[in-house]
Structure 1
């Protein structure tokens, strides 16, 4: 079997498969979660020998961790564990996935859920008709028991039956996927705002401290808007992370 052949993971539905470098990245994520910020990993050659793979495969695993903001690769020096701020990259992941990838245990505290008439910006983002209502779901999202963000999710009222009260402590994306509504892509808007008194109280901050407001609209494979979320993240624990490159000349 070559480094790039696929190997089935036991217990995955539908015979889902994972690459060798994906499995290596998973092991290294867990390892990085136990290391100190700034601690250097073994050399690429040492890691390739440890996992029994080529340097190319090992580097693809490190590329994944670099893109996720878990490690920082310095040319000529090596690979270092990033500071423990959760970096939101340009790959679509849920809050629960973000936390698990960093060795943290995600959880949610349900604050409120109700069916109501949407605000105009929510109506436009979800492409709702003038008479359509929405389900508004407010939750405090935690990692290892520490408050990370205060999130309000809006879905069209037709999803009311999907949102079972005993399922709202986990991942909303996973719940929707289990009902056949897989979220494939999203549009994200990020800006810095000052926490109001209620947000500050719930997030363990002082009123007026900065938070990241992240508004996302999630779509299924057909391009149908399924969910809109507005979340306020602690700026001391969260950052936006995007890798950019210069466009080719011409």
Structure 2
């Protein structure tokens, strides 16, 4: 029988056979990771049956490891077509820099689409987060952040309307908030704290990002401070779990 695209293995460094002294699952995982690392995004992988036959392992073992790659965003399944190498993930670091700075440092072109902007009285929660009095004006920005034109995150951020009067009227698509704060008010972010949790995207955020409802995402709560310790912004963002890894830099307390 003629070989199909699903039966063809790429010319990457795969083991000729597995080590009988090791569990098969981890070896399948290593082989699949090596395969994915050596292929361009969008490349069709061999079928699970072909992989099982090649390495003489149970098909369920292969299915479990492919499921793991899908969950980690390294490959994507297309119903009726097969499994493909996914687009590379972006590492989201816990830095003080803006989204735009973060994307440029990775060679990507940042962008944003303004969904909504308004100024409203501070609730008790926002007053506490921003160091304001209740009912003080708060500027609320709702944006979709993009990299090379691809939606990556939904951002909801809040700033003091007392400290930054007229800010709401400046917001626009592909507009840099941090550059505006620096140029107009001389304010720069010096430190920032992040709280990261895993959540499933709801219908609203999934629709804005163009992904399925329920896709795993990183919920990042961010508080940015200036050099004097004043709050510059507080907000929550949803980063696509299929396109992001969260990277933490740590060091010894000593």
TM tier relative to shorter chain: 0.5 to 0.7
Residue 129 (structure 1) aligns with: 133
1:152 paired with 2:156, answer: yes
Query: Is the Cα–Cα contact under 8 Å of residues 86 and 98 in structure 1 kept in the other structure?
Result: no
1:212 paired with 2:212, answer: no
TM-score with structure 1 length normalisation? Answer: 0.62
Bigger mean CA deviation after superposition, 87-96 or 134-143: 87-96
Residue 84 (structure 1) aligns with: 88
The correspondence for 2:177, drawn from 154, 168, 172, is 172
Deviations 1:116-153 (A, max 9, x none): 13343322111111231211111111111100001011
Paired residue total: 169
Evaluate the alpha carbon distance shift between residue 164 and residue 114 of structure 1 in structure 2; reply closer, same or farther with a 3 A threshold: closer
Hey, what's the Cα distance between the residues in 1 that align with 2:168 and 2:100? 17
Hey, what's the Cα distance between the residues in 2 that align with 1:239 and 1:120? 33
Residue 100 (structure 1) aligns with: 104
Query: Is the Cα–Cα contact under 8 Å of residues 95 and 171 in structure 1 kept in the other structure?
Result: no
Hey, what's the Cα distance between the residues in 2 that align with 1:208 and 1:236? 12
The correspondence for 2:167, drawn from 144, 156, 162, is 162
Query: Is the Cα–Cα contact under 8 Å of residues 109 and 140 in structure 1 kept in the other structure?
Result: yes
Evaluate the alpha carbon distance shift between residue 118 and residue 242 of structure 1 in structure 2; reply closer, same or farther with a 3 A threshold: same
Bigger mean CA deviation after superposition, 148-157 or 111-120: 111-120
Deviations 1:80-102 (A, max 9, x none): xxx93222223311100111111
Q: Which runs of 5+ in 2 are unaligned?
A: 1-35, 39-86
Residue 228 (structure 2) aligns with: 222
Residue 242 (structure 2) aligns with: 236
Residue 109 (structure 1) aligns with: 113
Evaluate the alpha carbon distance shift between residue 157 and residue 131 of structure 1 in structure 2; reply closer, same or farther with a 3 A threshold: same
Hey, what's the Cα distance between the residues in 1 that align with 2:179 and 2:253? 36
Larger Rg: 2
User: How far has the Cα of 1:38 moved from its partner?
Assistant: 5.0
Evaluate the alpha carbon distance shift between residue 134 and residue 247 of structure 1 in structure 2; reply closer, same or farther with a 3 A threshold: closer
TM-score with structure 2 length normalisation? Answer: 0.61
State the superposition RMSD in angstroms.
2.1
Residue 22 (structure 2) aligns with: none
Hey, what's the Cα distance between the residues in 2 that align with 1:218 and 1:247? 23
Query: Is the Cα–Cα contact under 8 Å of residues 216 and 230 in structure 1 kept in the other structure?
Result: yes
Query: Is the Cα–Cα contact under 8 Å of residues 96 and 224 in structure 2 kept in the other structure?
Result: no
